[in-house]
Chains A and B, each alone.
Chain A
């Protein structure tokens, strides 16, 4: 079973509007971290935002915020005031527990296109 599910292969948004990229996860570990990464067409992976399983508040980083609903096991990324430079692939990832492999498990990604 997939541990990270991103159900939107592609999303379109108008410049300056907000957009939500969906991510659901599956884990039985009470301690985990959720990450979002951006991959522009140039290929590099850019860390955007982190949410810990014990964090009481939703994470925010500039125009990025994470809508964390623990009971529903969802960690949606919200990008406010979209810019043309936001066009990219976006990956949700999870890291479980303390120690262990430290592996990041990635979803298959959502391709965001920002239209002028």
Chain B
């Protein structure tokens, strides 16, 4: 089944403890992206990747890191999480950059709580 898989789905942790949210897609998509969703603010892009070893900042990149060493994986790293990073996070992928008719397929989301 074609899908975007995020792990964990839920995480409660404490300020300053490094964490990684994994994202994997099995559709051979070139483009991958991370969004966060907050009440009243909608979804905002954190980072994106057009292909392997190519990543760039979105609208709200502060406090986050990403890497794209393989086409299928795009982990989101919080080196020193803070409470303002408590949010619902989504990973998404699409087939080809440069073709805006390609829908982005979303993972099921990761709900992070930073205490």
Measured CB to CB, the residues of A under 8 A from B are: 31-33, 35, 37, 42-47, 50, 52, 91, 93, 95-99, 101-104, 106-109
Contacts and interface: CB of A to CB of B under 8 A. Distances in A.
B85 interface: no
B42 A108 contact: yes
Nearest to B59: A103
Contact of B111 (A43, A50, A96, A101): A43
Contacts, number: 71
Instruction: Tell me the interface secondary structure of chain B in the complex.
Output: strand
B109 A103 contact: no
Interface of B: 31, 33, 35, 40-45, 48, 50, 56, 58-59, 88, 90, 92, 94, 97-101, 103-109, 111
Most A CB atoms within 10 A — which of B88, B97, B100? B100
